[in-house]
């Protein structure tokens, strides 16, 4: 999911915008479950951000050789960490939905597009970076979103969902570019000699990193301003979504 950080960042920022005023209105027993799901979302974002920073540090260490050498070695060294960070988001799915249902059922339905639909976006992107060894020379192949998902108007999606659920629809699905997200994904190949492609990848990843870092900071401020230390740290229900 390393190459889809901008998509994740967009949705996390949207969650922050929609929940800020509603958290203070929650009953005490509901606040704990909402707090837990948002706290785990923060840890997931932080973990992915940490892995991204580690990738850039490793790139810098290998840059004395060549850009392609630096990128390939860095992705290879941190591939397992990227998979583990992605799995944190996947494991969070049910709990995040339950937490957002408590805060705002409309928001929960909009954000659930990461987990359900025609395809599972997070699972699909969990192997976003792989080795391809079928040719004469091994190369790295990455799945790169081209921007359609990032351009989704989340506010419009929210308003359409609000109207639909308010009119009595039980299983409304807000249509968006996420319904056909595979059409937005292109394969990016990088071999040991292609320094120009490596530089393009680094530029793309820098933009993704900025989006994710913004989302992390917004979520941190939301937790800081909305919950007490006791609510954030002292959780007794290990599976609050059940």
The pLDDT value given to residue 218: 95
**Would you place residue 18 in the very low, low, confident or very high pLDDT band (cuts 50, 70, 90)?**
very high
The pLDDT value given to residue 70: 93
Cα 168 to Cα 107, 109, 113, 160, 163: the distances in Å are 16, 14, 20, 13, 9
Rounded Cα–Cα distance for residues 241 and 92 (Å):
10
The mean per-residue pLDDT over the stretch 97-112 comes to: 89
Lowest mean pLDDT among 16-20, 144-148, 170-174: 170-174
Chain CA centroid to CA 178, Å: 13
Q: Report the range out of 33-37, 112-116, 174-178 with the highest average pLDDT.
A: 33-37
SS (HEC) of 12-34: HHHHHHHHCCCHHHCCHHHHHHH
The pLDDT value given to residue 126: 82
Task: For 117, list phi and psi in degrees, rounded to 5.
Answer: 125, -155
In terms of Cβ atoms closer than 10 Å to its own Cβ (0-12, 13-18, 19+), residue 241 is: middle
Task: For 196, list phi and psi in degrees, rounded to 5.
Answer: -65, -45
The mean per-residue pLDDT over the stretch 116-123 comes to: 71
The pLDDT value given to residue 242: 55
DSSP string of the chain, one letter each residue: -GGGHHHHHHHHHHHHHHHTTTGGGS-HHHHHHHHHHHHHHHHHHHHHHHHHHHHHHHHHHHTTT-HHHHHHHHHHHHHHHHHHHHHHHHHHHHHHHHHHHHH-HHHHHHHGGGT-SSS-HHHHHTT-EEEE-SSSS-EEEEEEE-STTTT--HHHHHHHHHHHHHTT-SS----SGGGGGGGGEEEEEE-TT-HHHHHHHHHHHHHHHHHHHHHHHHHHHHHHHH--HHHHH----S-TT-
pLDDT in tens, 203-225: 999 999 999 999 999 999 999 99
The β-bridge partners of 190 are 140
Considering only residues 49 and 237, tell me which one the structure prediction assigns the higher pLDDT: 49
Task: For 148, list phi and psi in degrees, rounded to 5.
Answer: -65, -45
pLDDT > 60? residue 175: yes
Rounded Cα–Cα distance for residues 154 and 96 (Å):
18
pLDDT > 80? residue 241: no
pLDDT in tens, 26-70: 888 788 888 889 999 999 999 999 999 999 999 999 988 899 999
Note whether 197 and 146 are within 8 A (CB): no
The pLDDT value given to residue 211: 93
The pLDDT value given to residue 237: 60
């Amino acid at each position: 999911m390393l190459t889809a950080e901008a998509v994740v960042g967009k949705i996390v920022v949207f969650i922050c915008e929609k929940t800020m005023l509603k958290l203070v209105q929650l009953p005490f027993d509901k606040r704990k479950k909402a707090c837990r799901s948002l706290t785990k979302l923060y840890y997931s974002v932080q973990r992915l951000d940490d892995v991204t920073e580690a990738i850039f540090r490793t790139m810098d260490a290998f840059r004395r050789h060549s850009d392609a050498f630096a990128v390939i070695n860095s992705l290879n060294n941190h591939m397992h960490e990227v998979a583990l960070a992605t799995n944190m988001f996947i494991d969070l799915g049910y709990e995040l939905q339950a937490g957002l249902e408590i805060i705002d059922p409309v928001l929960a339905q909009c954000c659930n597009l990461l987990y359900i639909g025609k395809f599972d976006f997070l699972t699909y992107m969990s192997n976003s970076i792989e080795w391809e060894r079928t040719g004469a020379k091994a190369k790295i192949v990455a799945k790169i979103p081209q921007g359609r998902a990032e351009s989704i108007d989340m506010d419009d999606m929210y308003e359409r969902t609000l109207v639909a659920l308010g009119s009595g629809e039980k299983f409304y699905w807000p249509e968006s570019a996420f319904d056909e997200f595979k059409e937005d994904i292109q394969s990016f190949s990088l071999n040991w000699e292609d320094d120009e492609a490596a530089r393009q990848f680094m530029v793309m990843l820098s933009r993704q990193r900025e989006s994710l870092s913004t989302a992390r900071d917004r979520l941190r401020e939301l937790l800081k301003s909305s919950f007490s230390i006791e609510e954030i740290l002292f959780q007794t229900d290990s599976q609050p979504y059940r």
